[in-house]
Amino acid sequence: MNANIVKDWPYPRLVAHRGAGKQAPENTLTAMRVGHAYGYRMFEFDVKLSADNLSFLLHDDTLERTTTGRGRADALPWRELSRLDAGGWHSAKYAGEPLPTLAAIGRWARAHGAFCNIEIKPTSGRERETGAAVALDAAALWRDADVPPLLSSYSEDALAAARDAAPALPRALLFHELPPDWADRLARHACTAIDVNHKVLTADLVRSARSAGYRVLAYTPNESERVAELAAWGVDSIITDAVDHIPADALPPAPPLT
C-alpha cells in the first residue's frame, strides 16, 4: 500500500496541457491565460534549466521548434533566453510572446487560484540537477499554499532528486509505455500518483493503482468520448489539449480512494 496516499485529491478532474493545449503557444503565460479564460483551473507545463540555472518553461531539449533560438535549451543564460520569441511559431497573433520563468507562472497561478502540474523536463544530461532545482524553486514559490503543485517527470533520476530536495511536494511518475514493475518504481520515489499515456491505460490498471493507494492521471486524450471513458474508470485527473470543446466542469470530482 502506498505510504504517501492522498485521500482527498485536491486537484481538478480536467487539466489543460502545456497551458491551453493548441489554442495558444505552449508553455507560455499567455497559454495559461487562454486556458483560464476557457474555465480551466489546472495547468500542466514543462520546466527545465537555463545555462545559469534558472527554471523556465520549455518542452524540447532544443529551442528551434517553439522559439526563434537555436541549439540546446540549456546553452543560453536566461538573459538571452528571455529575448527569444516563443509565440510567433504558433501564429502571428502571438508573435513576441516570451518564454516564462517558473517564478512568473507560480505568481500568476497563485494570484488566480490555479493549480499546477509541473513536469520536470531536464535537458539531456542534467536530470538530477534539474530535478533538485525545480523542486526547490516550487517549494519556495508555493510556500504556505493550501494546495502545492504536483511534480511529475519521466526521468526517475530527476524525480529522485526532487524527492530528496523537497520531500513534502507530491510527485507522479510519468510513463509512455507501462513497465511491469511500475508499482515498485512509484514506491521507490515515494510518489502519490502515476501519470500514464491514455493509449496504454486500461480499466484494470486504474483499479490496481487506486487499490494500492495511488492516484491516476492520464495524458493527452482530446476526444470527449475517451475523456468520459477514462473518468468512468476512475482516473483522477485527465490532461487534455481540447480546452476549446471539453468544458472544464464537464466531469464530477474524482472518486475517493477505497
What's residue 254's pLDDT? 93
What's residue 148's pLDDT? 98
Angle between helices 102-111 and 127-141 (to 10 degrees): 30
Residue 1 has pLDDT above 90, yes or no: no
Counting beta carbons within 10 angstroms of the beta carbon of residue 131, is it exposed (0 to 12), middle (13 to 18) or buried (19 or more)? buried
Domain ranges of the chain: 14-240
What's residue 253's pLDDT? 92
Which is the CATH superfamily of the domain at 14-240? Phosphatidylinositol (PI) phosphodiesterase (3.20.20.190)
Which residues belong to the active site? 17, 59
Locate all alpha helices (DSSP H) within the chain, ordered by sequence. Answer: 29-37, 78-81, 102-111, 127-141, 156-165, 182-188, 203-211, 224-233
**DSSP label at residue 172:** E
The mean pLDDT value for 125-146 works out to 98
What's residue 191's pLDDT? 98
Q: Count the neighbouring beta carbons within 10 Å of the beta carbon of residue 146.
A: 8
The mean pLDDT value for 163-192 works out to 97
Counting beta carbons within 10 angstroms of the beta carbon of residue 48, is it exposed (0 to 12), middle (13 to 18) or buried (19 or more)? buried
The mean pLDDT value for 6-10 works out to 85
**DSSP label at residue 62:** B
Residue 3 has pLDDT above 80, yes or no: no
The mean pLDDT value for 105-127 works out to 98
Residue 7 has pLDDT above 80, yes or no: no
Residue 227 has pLDDT above 90, yes or no: yes
